[in-house]
């Protein structure tokens, strides 16, 4: 059996760091598996790979060239992805083409750990992300009483 070699990107990120990064409640999580459209451009790494980080809010496009794929949530889109449907539970290198991804559709996450398209406002902590069953929580301020 040959050894599996992970890319440099995957070596620098733990496989499942998500509960700690997102602050997710481990008892009420719900997921779907979906296909992420290629070349989503939230950030470029040193190798110019298109990275869609953990915590990216995604919508499901229902028309146009992205139809049937999950894309970064953009409240001004007109292809169906203007409604959020979940949060990426793992970081993705979308420069490698369409890829399967684990998308969180229920649970709770820290509001300040989420990402959306430029110009899209993430709802405040204490609310539910519209289109999902995800509760947005406030970050705990270090040293603050419980």
Q: Mean pLDDT per 10-residue run, the chain (146 residues)?
A: 34 44 65 83 58 88 92 92 92 84 89 87 91 84 50
Adjacent-strand bridge partners of 115: 56
Largest CA distance in the chain: 53
How many whole angstroms separate alpha carbon 96 and alpha carbon 67? Answer: 19
pLDDT of residue 82: 94
Q: How far is CA 72 from CA 1, 10, 32, 49, 99, in A?
A: 38, 21, 16, 16, 14
What is the pTM (predicted TM-score) of this model?
0.76
- Domains of the chain in start order, with CATH, are 8-137 (2.40.300.10)
pLDDT of residue 75: 92
How many whole angstroms separate alpha carbon 89 and alpha carbon 21? Answer: 10
Q: How far is CA 68 from CA 23, 53, 56, 146, in A?
A: 29, 20, 18, 43
pLDDT of residue 59: 93
Handedness of CA 108, 114, 116, 120 (dihedral sign): positive
pLDDT of residue 141: 56
């Amino acid at each position: 059996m040959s050894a599996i070699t992970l890319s440099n990107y995957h070596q620098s990120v733990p496989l499942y760091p998500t509960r700690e990064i997102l602050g997710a409640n481990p008892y009420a999580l719900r997921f779907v598996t979906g296909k992420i459209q290629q070349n989503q451009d939230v950030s470029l790494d040193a190798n110019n790979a298109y990275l869609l980080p953990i915590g990216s809010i995604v919508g499901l496009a229902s028309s146009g060239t992205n139809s049937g794929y999950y894309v970064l949530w953009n409240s001004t889109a007109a292809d169906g992805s203007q409604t959020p449907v979940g949060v990426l539970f793992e970081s993705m290198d979308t420069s490698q083409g369409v890829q399967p991804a684990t998308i969180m559709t229920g649970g709770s996450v820290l509001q300040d750990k989420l990402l959306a398209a430029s110009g899209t406002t993430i709802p405040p902590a204490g609310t539910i992300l519209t289109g999902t069953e995800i509760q947005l929580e406030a970050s705990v301020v270090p040293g603050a009483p419980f």
